[in-house]
Amino acid sequence: MEKDQINSLPFGRWGEAVAADYLQKKDYHILEHNFNFHHTEIDLIARDGSYLVFVEVKTRSSADFGTPEEALTPRKKYHLRRAAEGYLYLNNLNNIDCRFDVISILFGPDGQIEIEHFKNAFE
């Protein structure tokens, strides 16, 4: 995705676009953007080799109120797990290796972008 396309998106969607681009450069295959199940959204669903990866993207413009990954509460994790189960059920996927990753994106005031990728972040 081109930078001017990313700049035209709302802030949260902007971070998701940056995360998708980051994952694609790491040879992930993006399957879904913004999958919704029972009022819960999974930002990205991707393939990483044999793994199906459910990705939560946390985007911030500063770390003043905590880092992006600190915003992932136990309640949010519970809802994301339920949505992932829904995805597996709806797509008739059984006996597949899955994991939850978190991508933290921090946009600094100088335009600097910091990306941290936490693999298997729910364990």
- pLDDT tens digit sequence for 12-62: 567 889 999 999 999 999 999 999 998 899 999 999 999 999 999 988 776
pLDDT on residue 109: 73
Please state, in angstroms and as integers, the Cα–Cα distance from residue 46 to each residue in 23, 50, 60, 107, 116, following that order: 8, 10, 22, 23, 17
Residue 6 and residue 78: Cα distance in Å, rounded? 30
pLDDT band for position 67 (cuts 50, 70, 90): low
CATH topology (fold) of 3-118: Trna Endonuclease; Chain: A, domain 1 (3.40.1350)
Residue with tokens 């990753």: 101
Say what the pLDDT of residue 11 is. 59
